[in-house]
A and B are shown apart, each in its own frame.
Chain A
Amino acid sequence: MSRATRLAKLALLALLSAFLLTPQSFADLFRPFAPGDTPPIYTQTPLLTLTINQLLLVAAATVAASALAVGFAVAATRPAGRDILPFARALANLGQTFPPVAVLALAVPIFGFGSVPTLIALVLYGLLPVFETTLTGLSGLDPALMEAARGMGLTERQRLIQVELPLALPMILSGIRLTAVIGLATATIGSTVAASTLGEVIISGLLTGNTAYVLQGGLVVSALAILIDTAFHALERAATQRSGFGS
C-alpha cells in the first residue's frame, strides 16, 4: 500500500470514529438531505450501538463459518475424503448462486424474525467463500514440498498443521475477507427482518423519505467494509511473507 492510501485509510478510520462518537457534530453536513424540519441524524438507537451490534453479528457469523468451512475443506483434501472432492467443489459452486437476500428470506419462515435468521443466513452464505479458497489453497500446494515434508518423517497431522495450513493461510484469509465483507452487506439487509444493524437507519430513511438517514447508514457501512477489507489485506500480506513466498 502506498503512503498516500495508508494515510487516506487512517483518515477514514478517524472520521468514522468521530462520527460514531459524536454524530450530532456532523448534523449540519446532513441537514441539506433531510426534508423540512426532520432531524438530520438518526437518534432512535445510537449509531454506535447499531454499529457494534452489526460488527458483533458479522464477527460471530464469520468465525463460525470459517471454522466449519476450513474443517470441511481439510476433510475433503484428506486421502479418505478424496471421493467427495469433485462433489464438494460443485456444491460450493452451486451455493454461490444462492443470493444472500434469498437465503435470508428463506430463513425467516423457519427461524422467525430478529437476529437469529440473519446470523444463520450469514453463516450459511459465509461457508462458501472460505471453503472454496481453502480448497484451492490446500489442493494447489507444490507436490514436491509435500513430498519433502513426508520425507522428513512428519506425520499426517504434523504435515497439516505445520506445512499445509500455514502455506494455505493467505488463500484462507482471502476467503475469510470475502465472507466478512459480504456478511457486512447482508447483515444490513437483515434489518428488514428486524435484526439490530445499521440497516435500521437506512430502512427508516427509505420509509420516511429522509435521504440523510439513508446516507449515514450507507456511508458508515461502506467505511466499515473498506476498513475490514484493508485489515484483512494486511493480514494476507503478512501471512504470505511468513510462508516465504512473498514477492
Chain B
Amino acid sequence: MGEPFATRMRPGPDARPAGRILAGLDPMGTVFAGLLSLSLLALPLMIERPNRIAAGTSLMAWSALPAAAALAVLGIVGFAAALLTLRVAPSVRLAAGASALLLLGLAAGWAADHLTPPGDRYSRVSPDAGWWLAFVVAGLAAGDGLARLRPGPGTRIAALAAVTVLAGLALRSGFWDNLSIMREYAGHSDTFGREVRIHIGLALSSVTVAALIGIPAAILARPVPALRRTLLGFLNILQTIPSMALFGMLIAPLAWIGRSVPGAAELGIAGIGPAPALVALSAYALLPVAAATVAGLDAVPGPVRDAAQGVGMTGRQRLFQVDLPLALPALLTGIRIVLVQNIGLAVIAGLVGGGGLGVFVFQGISQNAGDLVLLGALPTVALASGSAVLLDAAIAVSRGRGAERAP
C-alpha cells in the first residue's frame, strides 16, 4: 500500500476531528458491527433442501443451530462486533474479525450436522444470505485490522499460510462434510484434483508463455517508436476479443494444425482439449506483460542510464545489470495482473472442453445446481486471491524494504 494519506495531504486550517458524537466510536468498525448484527439477526443463516435442486427452507441462526451452539455463535460474534465499534488497537480488531470468521466456519459445520437427519444422503444444507454477508463482513473486519497493522511481506505470507493450513485441516477433518458444497465435492472427488491441476497449469503456463514472448518483444520494440506503437496497438486489439469467442475461434485452426503438421498432434496441439485455452490465455496475458515491461524500462532514470554508459558498460550489461533489475517491480506488477486475470479467465476453458474448474461452474449452471457452481467458483477465487497476496509480497520485496513505503 502507498504512503499514508495524512502525510501527503496535511489537514488544512479548518480540519477538525470527525464529529464529536463519533469521538469514541470507530466509523468503519461501527459499519462492520451494524452489518454483522443485521446479517445474523435479520437474515437467514442456512438453507435446507430435501434434495439437490429442490426449493429450500431458509432458517435463522437460532433455528439452524442447536441452542448451545446458537448462543456461542451469537455471543462471540456479538462481542467481536461490539469490540469493532470501539477505537481499539489494530491487533484487537484483527483478533475480533478472525474469531468471528472462525465461529462462522464452525456454525456452518454445526448447522449441517444438526439439520441433516442421521443417514440421510439426499438432503442439502447450504449457507444462506445471512451467513455469506456475515462471512464477508467478518473477513473485511479482519482484513481491516491487518491493513492497519501495515504488515511487511513476510507477515502477509505468514497470514496467507495460516489461513490455508487452517482451511485445509478443517476440510480434511470432515467437519464440513454434511454441507452441500462438500457433498458436491464427494460426488466429483475423482475429477476435482485433476481439474484443479489443469486450472493451475493453464494459468501458470500461459503466463510463462506470455512472459517469454512479451518481455523480449517489449525490450526490442521499445526504443523504436513506430514498432512500439504497433506492438502495443496490436496487443490492445487482441484484448478486446471476448474470451469465449477467442477460445472458440482457435478451435478450428488448432485442429487443422494438429491434423496436418507432422508431430504437432504428439505435442498435444488439437482443436479440443487445453490447447485453444492455453493459446487464448497466453494471448490475453501478452498486453499487460509487454506494457508493464515498457513502462518499467521507461521509468529507469536517465542519469542512471548515463552513469551506466559512463562507466563503460556494454548494451547487454546495461540491460541485465541496470535496466531490468530497476524495472523488476513494474514487471512483477504486470505478472501479478495477468496471473490473477488468467486464473479467472481459465474458467472459460470449461466451456470449450479445455478442462479446469470451469467444468464444475458450467455443469452446475446447466444442471441448475448452485452448489456445484460454488465448487468451481470458490477455489478459483481462493487461487486468485492467494496468488495476488504472494505476488504483492514479491513486489514489495523487489522494491526493497527501505523503499517500500516510498511513493
A122-161: CB near B (< 8 Å → 1, else 0) gives: 0000000000000000010001001100100000100000
Q: Which residues of A contact B381 (CB under 8 A)?
A: 97-99, 102, 106
Shortest distance from the beta carbon of A159 to any chain B beta carbon, whole Å: 10
Whether A102 contacts B385 in the complex (CB less than 8 A), given A87-B28, A87-B147, A150-B12, comes out as no
Shortest distance from the beta carbon of A45 to any chain B beta carbon, whole Å: 17
List A residues 28-49 near B (Cβ within 8 Å).
33
Interchain CB contact under 8 A, B348 and A85: no
Partner of A89, one of B1, B22, B348: B1
Residue among B4, B10, B245 with most chain A CB within 10 A? B245
Whether A218 contacts B15 in the complex (CB less than 8 A), given A82-B6, A97-B340, comes out as no
List A residues 212-240 near B (Cβ within 8 Å).
214-215, 217-219, 221-222, 225-226, 229
List B residues 211-269 near A (Cβ within 8 Å).
237, 240-246, 248-249, 251-252
Interchain CB contact under 8 A, A105 and B385: no
In the complex, A62 has a CB within 8 A of chain B: no
In the complex, A59 has a CB within 8 A of chain B: no
Interchain CB contact under 8 A, B373 and A146: no
Shortest distance from the beta carbon of A117 to any chain B beta carbon, whole Å: 10
Partner of B16, one of A79, A81, A188, A189: A79
Instruction: Tell me, in angstroms, the Cα distance from A104 to B361 when the chains sit together.
Output: 10
In the complex, A172 has a CB within 8 A of chain B: no
A-B contact count (CB 8 A): 176
In the complex, B380 has a CB within 8 A of chain A: yes
In the complex, A80 has a CB within 8 A of chain B: yes
In the complex, B8 has a CB within 8 A of chain A: yes
In the complex, B344 has a CB within 8 A of chain A: yes
In the complex, A185 has a CB within 8 A of chain B: yes
Partner of B1, one of A90, A102, A108, A203: A90
List B residues 297-356 near A (Cβ within 8 Å).
340-341, 343-345, 347-348, 351-352
Interchain CB contact under 8 A, B242 and A84: no
Interchain CB contact under 8 A, B28 and A215: no
Q: Which residues of B contact A82 (CB under 8 A)?
A: 5-6
Partner of A79, one of B15, B248, B348: B15
List B residues 1-57 near A (Cβ within 8 Å).
1-2, 4-6, 8-16, 18-19, 22, 26-28
Shortest distance from the beta carbon of A187 to any chain B beta carbon, whole Å: 9
Interchain CB contact under 8 A, A91 and B240: no
Interchain CB contact under 8 A, A101 and B348: yes
In the complex, A14 has a CB within 8 A of chain B: no
Nearest A residue to B240, CB-CB: A225
Nearest A residue to B5, CB-CB: A85
Shortest distance from the beta carbon of B406 to any chain A beta carbon, whole Å: 15
Instruction: Tell me, in angstroms, the Cα distance from A231 to B381 when the chains sit together.
Output: 33
Partner of B388, one of A94, A139, A198, A222: A94
Q: Which residues of A contact B384 (CB under 8 A)?
A: 97-99, 102
Nearest A residue to B11, CB-CB: A79
Instruction: Tell me, in angstroms, the Cα distance from A20 to B385 when the chains sit together.
Output: 40
Interchain CB contact under 8 A, B241 and A218: yes
In the complex, B103 has a CB within 8 A of chain A: no
Shortest distance from the beta carbon of B256 to any chain A beta carbon, whole Å: 11
Interchain CB contact under 8 A, A83 and B246: no
Interchain CB contact under 8 A, B249 and A105: no
Q: Which residues of B contact A81 (CB under 8 A)?
A: 27
Interchain CB contact under 8 A, A90 and B147: yes
Q: Which residues of B contact A90 (CB under 8 A)?
A: 1, 143-144, 147
In the complex, B362 has a CB within 8 A of chain A: yes
Partner of A188, one of B242, B251, B370, B376: B242
Q: Which residues of B contact A97 (CB under 8 A)?
A: 340, 381, 384-385, 388
In the complex, B106 has a CB within 8 A of chain A: no
Instruction: Tell me, in angstroms, the Cα distance from A219 to B341 when the chains sit together.
Output: 22
In the complex, B129 has a CB within 8 A of chain A: yes
Partner of A91, one of B140, B246, B388: B140
Q: Which residues of A contact B376 (CB under 8 A)?
A: 105
Interchain CB contact under 8 A, B344 and A100: yes
Partner of A181, one of B240, B245, B364: B240
In the complex, B377 has a CB within 8 A of chain A: yes
Interchain CB contact under 8 A, A215 and B245: yes
7 contacts between A and B (CB under 8 A): A83-B27, A86-B147, A89-B1, A90-B147, A150-B13, A192-B365, A211-B249
Known: A109-B370, A214-B248. 16 other contacts (CB 8 A): A81-B27, A93-B1, A101-B345, A102-B381, A105-B365, A106-B381, A109-B373, A139-B9, A147-B12, A185-B242, A198-B242, A206-B248, A211-B252, A221-B241, A221-B245, A226-B240
